């Protein structure tokens, strides 16, 4: 599973925006079915100017609670993050919860373009593999324990998606053996 947090939604869902006002990735997280998960903040490129800050504190991102200052102080170089993702996901299909994988693919494309390297994995929409209208989806959601209010952070979101996927397939295969995942503390 993969999750990408971004500066805003500008351009990710279509629409026309000047290049300096397009959203960009600020954090990428992955969760594997073996319980391993990890994430990195991303240091913004000089031409990445978009930001959707909180009213009253423009430094803090509105949805994820990550500060722009933290990105500059703690964020990793785009090439480092892109190479790490390629190592983690090479030849795999990463599932995301972005409808049709549109937003996460947009942000990953921005990351890889800035890094000057090619992505070595595919990104697909999670719900192409799980039916939202399936009666078992509610049970899987409840069993996963992910119904909580928290800032959106890439690693936790990727773990939550993996937990939901695991519970859903445990129900569907009727083996009751959902994956045991280490949930990161944020």
pLDDT of residue 55 exceeding 70: no
* Assigned token pair, 3: 């999750």
What is the distance between the alpha carbons of residues 38 and 54, in angstroms, rounded to a whole number? 26
Closest CA to 63 of 152, 148, 3: 152
The region of weakest confidence among 18-22, 65-69, 79-83, 136-140 is 18-22
Task: Record the pTM.
Answer: 0.88
Q: What is the mean pLDDT of residues 147-172?
A: 86
pLDDT tens track for 89-142: 999 999 999 999 999 999 999 999 999 999 999 999 999 988 888 889 889 988
What mean pLDDT is reported for the chain?
Answer: 88
Looking at residue 54, its pLDDT comes to: 66
Fold of 2-125: Nucleotidyltransferase; domain 5 (3.30.420)
pLDDT tens track for 14-47: 888 877 789 999 999 999 999 999 999 999 999 9
Q: What is the mean pLDDT of residues 51-56?
A: 73
Phi, psi of 63 (to 5 degrees): -90, -45
Burial class (CB in 10 A: 0-12, 13-18, 19+), 138: exposed
Helix pair angle (154-173, 135-144), 10° resolution: 130
Looking at residue 103, its pLDDT comes to: 95
Cβ proximity of 35 and 182 under 8 Å: yes
Looking at residue 17, its pLDDT comes to: 81
Phi, psi of 25 (to 5 degrees): -75, 140
Looking at residue 15, its pLDDT comes to: 81
For the chain, the domains span 2-125
pLDDT grade for 185, boundaries at 50, 70 and 90: very low
Each as own residue / partner, the long-range contacts of residues 177-180 (CB below 8 Å, 24 or more positions apart, any chain) are 178/143, 178/144, 179/33, 179/35, 180/35
User: E strand or H helix at 93, and its extent?
Assistant: strand 93-96
Phi, psi of 168 (to 5 degrees): -60, -45
Q: Residue-wise over 45-76: b if at least 16 C-beta within 10 A, else e?
A: eeebebbeeeeeeeebbeebebbbebbeeebb
The region of weakest confidence among 2-16, 70-84, 100-114 is 2-16
Number of neighbours of residue 119 by Cβ within 10 angstroms:
19
């Amino acid at each position: 599973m993969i999750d990408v947090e971004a500066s805003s939604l500008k351009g990710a869902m279509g629409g026309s925006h000047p290049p300096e006002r397009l959203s960009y990735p600020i954090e990428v997280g992955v969760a594997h079915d073996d319980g391993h998960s990890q994430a990195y903040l991303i240091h913004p490129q000089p031409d990445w100017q978009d930001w959707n800050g909180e009213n009253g504190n423009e430094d803090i991102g509105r949805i994820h609670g990550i500060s722009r200052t933290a990105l500059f102080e703690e964020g990793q170089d785009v090439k480092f993050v892109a190479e790490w993702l390629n190592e983690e996901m090479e030849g795999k299909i990463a599932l995301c919860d972005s409808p049709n994988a549109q937003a996460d693919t947009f942000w990953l494309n921005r990351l890889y373009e800035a890094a000057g390297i090619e992505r070595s994995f595919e990104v697909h929409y999670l719900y192409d593999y799980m039916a939202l209208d399936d009666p078992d989806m509610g049970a899987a959601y409840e069993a996963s324990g992910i119904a909580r209010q928290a800032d959106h952070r890439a690693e936790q979101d990727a773990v939550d998606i993996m937990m939901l996927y695991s519970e859903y397939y445990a129900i569907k295969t009727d083996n009751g053996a959902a994956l045991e995942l280490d949930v990161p503390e944020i």
